[in-house]
Amino acid sequence: MHKKQLPLYAAYVMDNHGKLFSAALRQFGSWAKALVAAGVTRKPRTRKLYKGRLSLLNALSDVLEWHTVENMPQALKLEATHYFGSLKRAVTALRKQRNRLPGWNRRKITTVLSRLHRSKESLAYARARRDVPGLVSAAGSLQISSAARRL
């Protein structure tokens, strides 16, 4: 499956390769341990870095604003490969869904701010906090993560 660049997350394997998943559980105790035994990963994932595919796509979108595919963090590359089969497939999925991703990312924040500015609406903090609190909160957390990235 890894050589064919198929997704390796447990839900995909359960749905599409049920017998393989059951055999891996019997033989190794968990799907993560089976991936380690097969040499696909070095150690079992202790926790998810993202809350699923859409969360991963949001993070990928933010990283690609600042970095090239070659310079992105290794953890993000590994998660993208895990969920989509390859980094190339993850980037392709991002391009297809970029405008329909749930939640906030850097691109959505700048798009909404540009739209508000063009329509000559007030961008004062108090008014924005009252009218579009999700935008203010997302922009604030994005500012914090950008500051942390510079450290």
Residues 93 and 123 in one domain: no
Identify the pLDDT of residue 48. 64
The token duo for 72 is 């992105």
Q: What is the pLDDT of residues 125-134, one digit of tens each?
A: 888 888 888 7
Identify the pLDDT of residue 100. 65
Per-residue confidence band for 150, with pLDDT thresholds at 50, 70 and 90: very low
Q: Of 118, 142, 140, which Cα lies nearest the Cα of 129?
A: 140
Please check the confidence at residue 10 and state whether its pLDDT lies above 70.
yes
Q: What is the pLDDT of residues 11-27, one digit of tens each?
A: 888 889 899 999 998 99
Outline where the chain has alpha helix (H): 10-16, 18-28, 31-37, 53-66, 74-84, 87-97, 106-118, 125-131, 133-150
Domain boundaries, position 136: 106-150
Q: What is the count of structural domains for the chain?
A: 3
Residues 14 and 38 in one domain: yes
Residues 92 and 59 in one domain: yes
Residues 98 and 118 in one domain: no
Residues 55 and 80 in one domain: yes
Q: What mean pLDDT comes out for the span 107-113?
A: 78
Residues 41 and 56 in one domain: no
Residues 40 and 61 in one domain: no
Q: Is the dihedral of CA 56, 52, 11, 92 positive or negative?
A: negative
